[in-house]
Amino acid sequence: MVLSFYVHIPYCIKRCGYCDFNTYTPNELQDGASLEIVSNDYIDAVLLELDAAPSDEVPTIFFGGGTPSLLPAKDLGRVISAIKARNGMTADCEITLEANPDSVTEEKLQGYLAAGFNRISFGMQSAQPHVLAVLDRTHNPANVKRAVDMARAAGFESISVDLIYGTPGESLDDWRATVTEALSLDIDHISAYALIVETGTKLAAQIKRGDLTMPIDDLMADMYLLVDQMCNGAGLNWYELSNWSKPGHECQHNIAYWKSANWWGLGPGAHSHIDKKRFWNVKHPTAYKQKLFAKESPVAESENLTEEQLRDEAIMLAIRMRTGLALSSLNKQGQDNLQAYIATGHVVISDAQIQLTAQGRLIADRLVREALG
């Protein structure tokens, strides 16, 4: 067996208006405190949690957040070194760092490489200043190219950028310009996600008041088809609903999630999946640290997955991927349901594998429901 690790870094300098991730600014954690003060013993707590994880060999580690690149390379490197010493790593272990383009320097990038990182993912979101303003993103669009070029020069093997489409006020031409800019960068991978407005965020309040208006579904569909067409045309092939890469640069960590492999989430609010059990940690960094320093488990809740849940999740995840879903994994009702979508061009069947076309990916959720029978 192998075991992937996700390491959550819960700190951001500023909260983006659309974000409902489990992140905190230093001031939210301690009035007037600096990042150094609120994070100084955080890695110590993470290493204590690591002691509870299985000791299987590790094929992928992913540092997400928050903004992991706010922490010094030596701190993140302590986690990598501990996992390597305790579990061992596969020869081609993929170690990813999520980074804000504004938060990296040549010196920091060299430090991350020395710590063991070999893949970096920059939060680009958009190349249009007015779109970034709606999202409350703080980075300068020009810094994305600077950051990518620095990462490539430093020696990163794989470089990805994250994009968001469907921001209020974003036109199809705005989105085309963003994708064009992203594809002009020296990158190997693009993730492009439709904006989801989460209750309780600043953006949700702005929309509720009528200050901003979400784009219509047809525009969202056109945006998805455009990024798919442009990425495929540039040699980045889609391999999962929202992800495109050059051959050999697929995100192996995310593939582990989509294949329901075992992973352990280190950090507050992090989720884990071991065999047929799912569990997740307390959300607040202070509570997380307090529990671990008191030699208590940080796990908040857990659930044992039934065979039916495991089957349904396997279908739901596999259908999102280019490799597709084995026809034999569906019951007769599910197989019959999908037949109608072959005629409409949403689904193709090749070598007894069900695969979604670009049009099919637009209605992936509906097709999942049909496949479940």
Q: Which two tokens stand for residue 28?
A: 């939210």
What amino acid occupies position 169?
A: G
- Pairing outcome for strands 189-194 and 158-165: parallel
Task: Dump pLDDT digits (tens) for 143-194.
Answer: 999 999 999 999 999 999 999 999 999 999 999 999 999 999 999 999 999 9
The Cβ-side half-sphere exposure at 216, using a 13 Å CA radius, reads 2
117, 116, 140: which is closest to 127 by C-alpha?
A: 140
Tokens of 119: 């893949």
pLDDT in tens, 254-279: 999 999 999 999 999 999 999 999 99
Q: Name the more confident of 202 and 133.
A: 133
Mean pLDDT score, 192-198: 85
Domain borders along the chain are 4-258, 308-372
CA distance 197 to 220: 14
- Is the CATH number 3.20.20.70 carried by domain 4-258? yes
Domain 308-372 coded CATH 1.10.490.10: no
Helices (H), the chain: 26-29, 35-39, 42-50, 73-86, 106-115, 129-135, 142-154, 172-184, 202-209, 217-233, 252-258, 285-293, 307-318, 332-343, 358-362, 364-372
SS3 at position 110:
helix
**Model pLDDT, residue 213:** 78
> What is the rounded distance in angstroms from the CA atom of residue 31 to the CA atom of residue 369?
47
> Quick check: 212 pLDDT over 90?
no
What is each CA distance from 225 to 219, 255, 344, in whole angstroms? 10, 22, 17
* Tokens matching residue 139: 């980075």
